[in-house]
Structure 1
Amino acid sequence: MDPLSALRDFSIRNELDKIVRVGDDFRFSNDYAFPCSVATAYRSKQGNLYTLETLVHYIKNHHLKHTDYIQNARTQKIPVVTLPDRKPLLDYLQGKVSSTDAIEFVAPQNPIFSAAVDEYRPEDPGLITADTEFDVNQDSTALVSENYMSMLRAIERPLKDRESMLECRHRDFYNVLVVATKRDDERQRIESQQRKDGLVAKNRLMRADERGYGNELGFDATPKPNMHLTGSKIGEGVPIILLPSASQTLITIYNVKDFLEDGLFVPTDVKMKETKGPKPDCITVQKKLNRDRVATAYEVRDKPLALKPEDWDRVVAVFVLGKEWQFKDWPFKDHVEIFNKIIGFYMRFEDDSLESAKNVKQWNVKIISISKNKRHQDRAAALEVWDRLEEFMRSRARA
């Protein structure tokens, strides 16, 4: 019996507790033994074959929420079953469905032994029966060797394909990414504060010029490129990006820095567990995905009603939730005025129903889609946000 069928059989019989790991093998009671790392016949939607270790861990922990399941697997350094595969895989392993297109059994290379050999168990005396006759000569040695080679071929399973060759078993590079991105945080905070202080100083000079003192002191009060315009007003200070404070939005005050600066979407619940201390009221972000020039710093806030009247002149962008109540008590008469003066972004998973975005489609808002699982595509989505924001800032500056 192959590993996947054995696991399904024990799952249907409610005997998962009889599957025990011994060293690098899984023992299925006294019936079977398979290597933990053996590839099963179940292929994920991403294209790779799940290992027996991944499936055993999943079927024993399927009751956990997906985020808790992922954390549990990472702790044990076990590759996970992806969210799209969870339901169909569970239905198959529990016997709710008899087959699925995700299963790709590999036929034995020597069909003569396919009916007689379940798996290679050297201690099993049944592999060579008492009825087998061998001549004590070179032919008998060759026959025994051929039998064992045939048995080995019968249990061969593909371990690598183009996708799995790029994966590292029992390796999770998420922590490496976190350490790498946090290493420069202190330097970036200092630089951001210096840029903020510089903008404040320039604003003071501009106000001095308006009072008639700028020319006398020899100051150039011409608006600089990193200042922004809202209508005919000059926003004083660092530009502001607003976020919803609701938990159901994809981009929040917790994960916006990872997304905009590093081009990586990290779920909010994961970031909340990593964050120490209270929820921040304001954070600073800047475009780091291109290092060919100094980027403008932006303040990110999720409490618009806490803004002072003069702060609204600095608001340049908003991530919308798609709900009308998000804009309650904003100092604008309608959506037309909001999205003429502020660029709007709506973040969604690419396979979500467009029904959830029916309100957004009626607004002048840019819809940005990301994948639920393909994190290497996050960078392109973040760059699209930056490109549209910078284009909007240039157009406002020319107005």
Structure 2
Amino acid sequence: MDPLAVLRDYAARGDLDKIIFSGDEVLFGSEYTFPANAPTAFTNKQSGRPYPLSAAVFLAQHNDLKHTDFIQAARLRRIPPVSLPDRKTFLDFLRHGHHSLPTDPLLPSALPSFAPEPQPTLPEEPEGDKASGAYIRSLERTLKDRNALLDARGRDFLAVLQNATRREEERRRNKDSVTTSARHAPSAAAVAMAKPKVERSFGEGFVPIILVPSASQTLVTIYNVREFLEDGVFVPSEERMRAMKGSGKPDCVMVQKKLIRGERTGAGGGATTFEVRDKPASLKPDDWARVVAVFVLGKEWQFKDWPFKDHVEIFNKVIGFYVRFEDDSVEAAKVVKQWNVKIISISKNKRHQDRTAALEVWERLEEFMRAHT
């Protein structure tokens, strides 16, 4: 098969975008594969040397460029650029089928990068359809078979499969979510404004949620909340982020703590697991029923789109904590003092005092959960 004939066929069908360069080869969809440096019947009029297939394909795909831009683009791709006079000749051949190129195509068997196998003795005078078929087959050479097409060097099909599977699962989940929302809610606005169910049964299977700000200027974030609440040690968020070495911010953190006084109703006094999140917008109505505490930033916008009408309702159903350095100005907590929020002070340098602050959080939280059981 003459590669120029294949190229002209793809141009006539408008399928030039299906021709791709893959290493040292040119792939015509899944039908044909030729060496990129294969000489063609398209020759340089000045030197008489044949242009490689890569030059012909590149010209066919980028003939809309100005010639100066085309030359520069070809050189960047390390493809021999086609001269301006030869360019017109080839485009006439490509678009209109003018026989301005040599009539004898360069067959793949004549390409220098493929050593031809010993040819069988050809019949001097083929007679009949059978002899003609044998004569044609004797000139053919297989470039690719179905097994060779599966050998994609440098391509990770496992990653392609995993990405496709993940996208399909996400699409299915989104579709199910939209269908469920449309079935059970009159409108998206009604769902957003619906009040959470505060039927908190602190029994088996109930995992309370603690919300922390996602802003970096707050002291307690999802990066350092576990060390602070579980170990009673305050570690700056920046330090924890550097220790994670770019592994990314977690969506949630699980924190455990034994209750301070007595036994919790219905829990047998064991350790309680809390789920810490910093994205309230991702919570569903049922999740809001599990929210028991929030570390406040001291900014009104933190509570935007919360399913409560005001701060009174928020801090009646959720206990609030504001963590600050003990030597910070009182002005910084001016807004927070107007809310029903517990202010927790920690030292910038005295780390042995962190445990006292953490225990104060747990004690207040236990009292709140007891009162709302």
Q: TM-score, normalised by structure 1?
A: 0.40
